[in-house]
Chain A
Amino acid sequence: DGGITQSPKYLFRKEGQNVTLSCEQNLNHDAMYWYRQDPGQGLRLIYYSQIVNDFQKGDIAEGYSVSREKKESFPLTVTSAQKNPTAFYLCASRAGEWDTQYFGPGTRLTVL
């Protein structure tokens, strides 16, 4: 089955810890995205990557980092510098410039 997978589904973090969220796709899509969604709010773009070994900051990149070493993978690290990391994190990908985005099932991160 082709699609986007994210792991883990639920993640609990202690304050001061870095955590990495996984995003993998086997759709052969060039572009990949990370969004954050807070309760009752819309999606906010964290980082995106149009091609391997290249990525750009989105609207709320502070406290986050990414890498794009492989076309299939776009992991997101939530660092201790992110002051309010508890949220629902969604990874997406798209095939071409005017194609719509397809989402993974998300990771729900909670800081204890």
Chain B
Amino acid sequence: RKEVEQDPGPFNVPEGATVAFNCTYSNSASQSFFWYRQDCRKEPKLLMSVYSSGNEDGRFTAQLNRASQYISLLIRDSKLSDSATYLCVVMLNTGGFKTIFGAGTRLFVKA
């Protein structure tokens, strides 16, 4: 089982739609969580951290469910510019700090 799993997609949605991605992690010692965005042939960039109480940044909402060991990203009112791959990232300390990247979920927003 992979340490961090994401649905690879692709998700094809029309502009204005709401789309949600989930990510599951296997290690209960995971302590910090992030969503990154990666455009085609570019580097990943931090989109937002994920806090235990859930957090929102404009059209983006991130949630964490420690009991079920998953995090989610909700994008409301999708824009064409949201088309990208979204990476789930987990950090944990098991005697040394470790960062684990999910393989990503591809999103295509269509006009």
Contacts and interface: CB of A to CB of B under 8 A. Distances in A.
A100 B49 contact: yes
Interface residues of B, number: 21
Interface string A32-47: 0001000011110000
Judged by DSSP, the binding face of B is strand
Interface centre among A97, A100, A108 (most CB of B within 10 A): A100
Interface in A79-106: 88, 90, 97-98, 100-106
B43 interface: yes
B91 A42 contact: no
Interface string B76-89: 00000000000101
A103 B44 contact: yes
A100 B103 contact: no
Contacts of B32: 98, 100
A101 B103 CA distance: 16
Across the A-B interface, give the 7 residue pairs with the lowest CB-CB distance, nearest first: A42-B103, A103-B43, A43-B101, A106-B43, A42-B101, A97-B97, A100-B34
Contacts, number: 39
A68 B104 CA distance: 30
A98 B43 contact: no
Nearest to B99: A101
Contacts of A108: 41
Interface string B41-58: 111111001000000000
**Most chain B Cβ neighbours within 10 Å, of A43, A101, A106:** A43
B43 A105 contact: yes
Nearest to A56: B96
A90 B43 contact: yes
A103 B26 CA distance: 25
Contacts of B104: 42
